[in-house]
Chains A and B, each alone.
Chain A
């Protein structure tokens, strides 16, 4: 495999030194199988130890290396350098988030949203482990399994124009995760989660742009989850009108 040279333009912003962000350009030798994260690691190891970005697993599992690459939210570990052959690659922090330093963004808002939808199995009464598992059939698993593939990389928030306009919007990943639990046959927390996903800035804010589902690196379809959440909400509303005493 031969070596080429990639030109990479990275956003630099060091709050202790810089009044505002600027671009810095680096030249990186690369092979066919190298990704943008490899280039960042090369820069940090060989050229500039102060370049700052987040990463951990290097294999599309941990969700910590997201950035805007040529304007599109992507995992740096899953973006090959050869795909940009012959042109400068621009790497910027994910849009819609406050920047802490260089490519590192503030995740606080997303973390709070994740906790808000209570991403765990809620039971009316917990049984001790000795009494056995909460069983589930393959068919029941199928109802939500794609939504459990989310790696919390936040690319869908960087891609979502609604979130860009209104940071209170619960947003794609958190709604998809809520839906994952709502559809889980072992879960009994629908009554708790419903008001959260249907509140003012919940699912109904979504205008079906669908960029969230396009950028997801794990094949999750948050837009579908949001639409299904709306349908469930609407059906419930009709049910409660027709059967106010709680028909099933």
Chain B
């Protein structure tokens, strides 16, 4: 809820009763995590629907560097469950269908210990060249641990063994684990400064939802923890400092009007449709479209297609139906609201990516394969408009560490 440029709280749904609740606050900190579920394959929990990103974006804060999407190279193909890097750290091999350690063609010096983005792209290249395996959930490659032996697997990788056994019925001591790359983490997010401040008085963000820019275009493993612990604390302190000097907001206009509009949108529009397609078909098409056109490899045409698909799906969602009309615990309504958030967030990704005519970090353009510091050493900023997102740029502040060529 925004009053004269200042954030004064949020509206929420008490799921147990279905009531719209108004929570007034001197300051709001968004800590809702990422948006993995906009993609077909993700390691994220399936509640990671980008709600917080969309809330800030709708309130008028730009989403920064949204084209920077990290893929992880080893997901189970059906569920997207993550097989830890430790499986390769302990000596596991990635093999194509010819039984070949194909990484020798991509990162010969590092092989399986290479970075996530390069390994993910290598797997996709193998699959695109017809050297992957075909399964019921699409193409995959193999992660082979069989040569590590029982003791290493049981002592060092017990969780890998448990997941492979539980979810695939595979014993990794004797059989390779099918894996494929999938969405893992958003480097981009709600634009903040180093104190978690979004630039909009009263609004702060921390964690994966935020883009404080410590990850640049490619996060290193475990740095999301730093983001939570260090910048979470910073955001909390900054919000507290702001709150103590502010008056409590009151439930008057225009906040009251905003709440009534939200109430109308949910209860008189979204819930009132009696006919239309299911929200699940819109969600599935978004996930497939993002994976196919805005995934690991991108080019001008695929990104244009991504923009078009998300635009169409937004129209379709506005005519979709929520079958469950209950007030109590209406999880289908929640899913519809989440999908609405996801489509807003998803749209910023191809629109930001299409203008970045270079390859940098996790963003890889097959039509612009080189990094271009002269034109693109800059943050993209996606702003909400009544139409498609407007993209502009904000300078990168370089202090102690200068950008260097990425060589392995």
Contact = CB atoms under 8 A, between A and B. Distances in A.
A15 interface: yes
A16 B17 CA distance: 11
Interface string B77-95: 0110100000000000000
B332 A16 contact: no
Interface of A: 1, 14-17, 31-33, 44-46, 48-50, 52-62, 78, 100-101, 104
Contact of B46 (A17, A44, A56, A78): A56
B130 interface: no
A46 B280 contact: yes
12 contacts: A14-B326, A15-B328, A16-B327, A32-B169, A33-B168, A46-B280, A49-B321, A52-B324, A53-B331, A55-B46, A59-B167, A100-B329
Nearest to B278: A49
**Size range of the interface on B?**
20 to 34
Interface of A is mostly: loop
A56 B332 CA distance: 14
B280 A1 contact: no
Shortest beta-carbon contacts, A-B, top 4:
A45-B280, A50-B324, A49-B323, A57-B45
A50 B329 CA distance: 10
Contacts of A59: 79, 81, 163, 167
B332 A57 contact: no
Interface of B: 16, 45-47, 78-79, 81, 135-136, 163, 166-169, 278-280, 284, 321-324, 326-332
Contacts of B322: 49
Given A16-B326, A45-B280, A52 B331 contact: yes
Contacts, number: 68
Contact of A52 (B47, B169, B329): B329
A78 B330 CA distance: 24
A31 B168 CA distance: 11
B399 to A, nearest CB: 25
Given A1-B136, A31-B136, A48 B45 contact: no
B78 A104 contact: no
Nearest to A62: B45
Contact of A49 (B166, B284, B324): B324
B167 A33 contact: yes
A59 B279 CA distance: 24
Contacts of A58: 45-46, 79, 81
